[in-house]
Structure 1
Amino acid sequence: MAAVATTTGKGFDFSAYLESARQRVEAALEAALPPERPESLREAMRYSLLAGGKRLRPILCLAACELAGGSSQAAMPTAVALEMVHTMSLIHDDLPAMDNDDLRRGRPTNHKVYGEANAILAGDALLTRAFELVALRSPGVPAERLLAVVGELSLASGAPGLVGGQVVDLECEGKSVDLDTLEYIHLHKTGALLRACVICGAHIAGASNALLEALGTYARGIGLAFQIIDDILDVTASSEVLGKTAGKDLTADKTTYPKLLGLEESRQRAEALVAEAKAALAPFAADAAATVIPGAVDPAAPLLALADYITSRDR
């Protein structure tokens, strides 16, 4: 993980927040897959789900819930569900029929260990377990809020979201792609789930329409910025640092931001998107009296710091 500033904003220790949230997410992920039959399926699910990673998606969910005045405990089942959907997408993306990758999070991809059939089924099981967590394992959250979460999660994980983005990504391999098409791919394949993370967290807390709109703008900015940095790292970092195969976009002849814009303009675009994302939260960052986050004067501090982290990360 990239080095991060120890503080962001007055009185807020981002490094401590990030590590504390990550540890809570890891514990919740472990608890979400208890012993059950068939054990071979559970083992394949756990292999990818518990393989580590930045856990940015569930942490974004928790931070958005806190900004909206809710508790991270109430949002944790949804946060875990979002990480399960993300893990499913990685398992399926790595398959030979998709991106055909052998390395993920520093170790062999799921299908290399368990075979293609079991990898597909492990991804399917994680996807459906995600909806179970939201609908059946979220005690104390009003039903109408959970319904909103289910709706967002369905859109993000289906044809209007990451599945649609993956299809267009595959269709464009080896072709010249303009910026609009590239952004369509990334707003769906990557950005849709990142958007769901912040919107779902806010729904758990019963956020206002104004805050939901601002979070949507924030999510669009960080979603595109996240993918731009991924594209940059694909050509500037090693496989050992990334924990996945470096240079695979070039090998697959995919259009990326560096290929289309160059490295320097790509980084400038990512920084501009992060600035837009942070600006969307400015009215809510100022309203510190409405929500209290332990250790943070500014209730938006975690989301603002996460936006900065996206452009400073090295993996």
Structure 2
Amino acid sequence: MFRDSLAAGASAVAAHFDHVIGALATLPVTEAMRYATVGGKGLRGWLVLEGARLHGVPQAQALWPACAIEAIHAYSLVHDDLPCMDDDDLRRGLPTVHRKWDEATAVLAGDALQALGFELVADPRCHPDAGVRADLTLSLARAAGARGMVLGQALDMAAETADTPLTLDEITALQAGKTGALITWSAEAGARLAQADPGPFTSYAHRLGLAFQIADDILDVEGDAETVGKAVGKDAGRGKATFVSLLGLDQAKTRAETLVTEACDALSPYGERADTLREAARFVISRRN
């Protein structure tokens, strides 16, 4: 049920992106924007759609914040792949944006995707109430910026040149920003659209985001580039502290499973209606890419 729902959500978000980006001038930068949003699982956008469904928000309305978070996520990946950051040649099994075009186009495409994300949640078609749109915009800015994802990225880069590796608490805090902040916003967005309490989704997403990152660290050890769609083994090669290096492979897997159980339990107020979200949590630690 979850995989079908995830695929349907990704298809709906892709169609909405085609509509939005199709309205822009045909230029290398807009083609690079479109390219950067193709592929991937679309988990963040799906979390928005599923949270909205649980609160009775129409999908046509929820697609605006769903596309917004995927635009912000795509921008972060385009910039993360740049030579000045992680210097990656592959993303989702395809050449990274700066390899397919050039660095300047990649920077501009990332900038434009970031701006597009905020444009989408500020659009009146996202919600007729300006207060709700303002809440979505402010919370997204906090999740994406120096309180959230960017903070996590900056801490990650600083750790690469630090004299001592990060502790478990430090890497947990780092990943709460780098990976967890956007996942948390995605899970909360449906409740925000409905002006409902996002608390259960916040608890769910905090654990889901951490489990997601632990699963990524495990894939970097156990996966292969063809299946994962990007280079693997880079963390160990850099001597980078990860959940696997700090906990060991078996304990990292156990920790991820515990987090998933806790994430599922956080949704108890929604009963069986949240079972697809529980499937999503289990999928996160069983995925192979």
Q: Deviations over 1:122-177 (max 9, x none)?
A: 00000001111111252554221111110111011100011110000001015311
User: Match for residue 27 of structure 1?
Assistant: 15
Amino acid at match of 1:300: A
Residues 113, 215 of structure 1: alpha-carbon distance in 2 compared, 3 angstrom cutoff: same
CA RMSD of aligned residues (A): 1.4
Amino acid at match of 1:262: G
Report which of the two has the higher share of helix: 2
User: Match for residue 188 of structure 1?
Assistant: 177
Q: Distance in 1 between matches of 2:248 and 2:18?
A: 41
Q: Deviations over 1:49-91 (max 9, x none)?
A: 12x1100000011111112232222111100010000000000
Counterpart secondary structure, 2:125: coil
User: Match for residue 18 of structure 1?
Assistant: 6
Counterpart secondary structure, 1:253: coil
User: Match for residue 301 of structure 1?
Assistant: 275
Residues 250, 139 of structure 1: alpha-carbon distance in 2 compared, 3 angstrom cutoff: closer
Q: Which runs of 5+ in 1 are unaligned?
A: 1-12, 286-297
Residues 240, 162 of structure 1: alpha-carbon distance in 2 compared, 3 angstrom cutoff: same
2:135 aligned to 118, 134, 148, which one? 148
Aligned positions of 1:37-56 closer than 5 A: 37=25, 39-50=27-38, 52-56=39-43
- 1:16 Cα shift? 2.5
Q: Does 1:98 align with 2:85?
A: yes
User: Match for residue 121 of structure 2?
Assistant: 134
Q: Deviations over 1:192-242 (max 9, x none)?
A: 0000101122211221x3xx1111110100000000000000110100000
Q: Is the 8 A contact 1:74 1:141 kept in 2?
A: no
Q: Distance in 2 between matches of 1:47 and 1:67?
A: 31
2:237 aligned to 221, 237, 251, which one? 251
- 1:104 Cα shift? 0.4
Could you tell which deviates more after superposition, 240-249 or 128-137?
128-137
Q: Distance in 2 between matches of 1:281 and 1:45?
A: 35
TM-score, L = length of structure 2 = 0.95
Q: Is the 8 A contact 1:88 1:124 kept in 2?
A: yes
Q: Is the 8 A contact 1:61 1:200 kept in 2?
A: yes
- 1:251 Cα shift? 2.3
Amino acid at match of 2:279: A
Larger RCO (alpha carbons 8 Å, 6+ apart): 1
User: Match for residue 289 of structure 1?
Assistant: none
Residues 124, 137 of structure 1: alpha-carbon distance in 2 compared, 3 angstrom cutoff: farther
Counterpart secondary structure, 1:98: coil
User: Match for residue 4 of structure 1?
Assistant: none
Could you tell which deviates more after superposition, 144-153 or 24-33?
24-33
Residues 312, 185 of structure 1: alpha-carbon distance in 2 compared, 3 angstrom cutoff: same
Q: Is the 8 A contact 2:127 2:193 kept in 1?
A: no
Q: Distance in 1 between matches of 2:165 and 2:288?
A: 28
Q: Is the 8 A contact 1:68 1:206 kept in 2?
A: no
Counterpart secondary structure, 2:174: helix
Q: Which runs of 5+ in 2 are unaligned?
A: none
- 1:38 Cα shift? 5.7
Q: Is the 8 A contact 1:66 1:299 kept in 2?
A: no
Aligned length: 287
Could you tell which deviates more after superposition, 70-79 or 100-109?
70-79
Q: Distance in 1 between matches of 2:17 and 2:35?
A: 12
Q: Distance in 2 between matches of 1:14 and 1:133?
A: 26
Amino acid at match of 1:226: F
User: Match for residue 310 of structure 1?
Assistant: 284
Q: Which runs of 4+ in 1 moved over 3 A?
A: none
Could you tell which deviates more after superposition, 122-131 or 138-147?
138-147
- 1:103 Cα shift? 0.7
Counterpart secondary structure, 2:288: coil
- 1:254 Cα shift? 1.4
Amino acid at match of 1:126: L
Percent identity at matched positions?
Answer: 41
User: Match for residue 237 of structure 1?
Assistant: 223
Residues 147, 140 of structure 1: alpha-carbon distance in 2 compared, 3 angstrom cutoff: closer
